[in-house]
Amino acid sequence: MSESKSSDSPSLPNASNSYIISKRKNSWPFTLLITALVPVVAATILYQLDTFDPAPLPPGELSRHVIEAPVRNSRMLEGSELVGVGHLAGPEDIAYDPSAGVFYTGCADGWINRVTVNDSVVHKWINTGGRPLGIAVGRNNELIVADAAKGLLNVTAEGVVELLTDEAEGQKFRMTDGVDVAENGMIYFTDASYKYSLSEFIWEFLEGKPHGRLMSYDPATRRTKVLVRNLYFANGVAVSPDQNYVIFCETPVRRCRKYIIQGKEKGKVDKFIEYLPGMPDNIRYDGEGNYWIAFPTAHTFSWDLAFRYPIIRKGIAIMERYVGRPNMEKNGGVLAVDLVGKPTAYYYDPGLLLLTTGIKIGDHLYCGSLFSPYIIRLNLKQYPAT
> Minimal distance in Å, beta carbon 367 to ligand NAG?
21
> Minimal distance in Å, beta carbon 109 to ligand NAG?
23
- Number of chain residues interacting with ligand NAG (CB under 6 A): 12
Name which of 116 and 199 has its Cβ closer to ligand NAG: 116
> Minimal distance in Å, beta carbon 360 to ligand NAG?
19
> Minimal distance in Å, beta carbon 154 to ligand NAG?
4
**Cα–Cα distance between 168 and 224 in angstroms, integer?**
6
Q: Site for ligand NAG (CB under 6 A): which residue of 106, 219, 277, 332?
A: 219
**Cβ–Cβ under 8 Å, residues 246 and 263:** no
Name which of 16 and 116 has its Cβ closer to ligand NAG: 116
Determine if 176 is a binding residue for ligand NAG (CB under 6 A).
no
CA 218 to chain CA centroid, Å, is 27
> Minimal distance in Å, beta carbon 167 to ligand NAG?
17
Name which of 203 and 217 has its Cβ closer to ligand NAG: 217
Name which of 219 and 310 has its Cβ closer to ligand NAG: 219
Query: What's the first-to-final CA gap in the chain, in angstroms?
Result: 72
Name which of 156 and 302 has its Cβ closer to ligand NAG: 156
**Cα–Cα distance between 155 and 33 in angstroms, integer?**
64
Question: Strands of 343-349's sheet, edge to edge?
Answer: 72-73, 343-349, 332-338, 290-295, 283-285
95: nearest Cα among 131, 130, 129, 145 = 145
Please list every residue from 113 through 172 that binds ligand NAG, using CB under 6 A: 116, 118-119, 138, 140, 142, 154, 156, 162, 164
Cα–Cα–Cα angle for 31, 34, 36, rounded to 5 degrees: 105
**Cα–Cα distance between 29 and 81 in angstroms, integer?**
61
> Minimal distance in Å, beta carbon 108 to ligand NAG?
24
Q: 301-308 and 310-322 helices cross at what angle (nearest 10)?
A: 110
Name which of 115 and 175 has its Cβ closer to ligand NAG: 115
> Minimal distance in Å, beta carbon 119 to ligand NAG?
4
Q: 310-322 and 14-49 helices cross at what angle (nearest 10)?
A: 100
Cα-flanking dihedrals φ and ψ of residue 140, to 5°?
Answer: -120, 40
Q: Half-sphere exposure (CA, 13 Å, Cβ side) for 57?
A: 26
Helix (H) or strand (E) holding 176, with range, is strand 176-181
Name which of 45 and 157 has its Cβ closer to ligand NAG: 157
150: nearest Cα among 170, 171, 173 = 173
Name which of 181 and 294 has its Cβ closer to ligand NAG: 181
Q: How far apart, in Å, are the Cα atoms of 244 and each of 170, 183, 220, 266?
A: 29, 11, 20, 9
Residues 83-112: x/- map of binding to ligand NAG (CB under 6 A)?
A: ------------------x-----------
Helix locations, 264-365, DSSP H: 301-308, 310-322
**What b/e sequence results for 38-51 when a residue is b if at least 16 CB atoms lie within 10 Å of its CB, and e otherwise?**
eeeeeeeeeeeeee
> Minimal distance in Å, beta carbon 217 to ligand NAG?
7
**What b/e sequence results for 287-324 when a residue is b if at least 16 CB atoms lie within 10 Å of its CB, and e otherwise?**
eeebbbbbbbbbbbeebeebbeebebbbbbbbebeeee
> Minimal distance in Å, beta carbon 89 to ligand NAG?
23
Name which of 8 and 119 has its Cβ closer to ligand NAG: 119
Name which of 127 and 156 has its Cβ closer to ligand NAG: 156
Please list every residue from 231 through 270 that binds ligand NAG, using CB under 6 A: none
> Minimal distance in Å, beta carbon 178 to ligand NAG?
16
Q: Where does this chain bind ligand NAG (CB under 6 A)?
A: 101, 116, 118-119, 138, 140, 142, 154, 156, 162, 164, 219
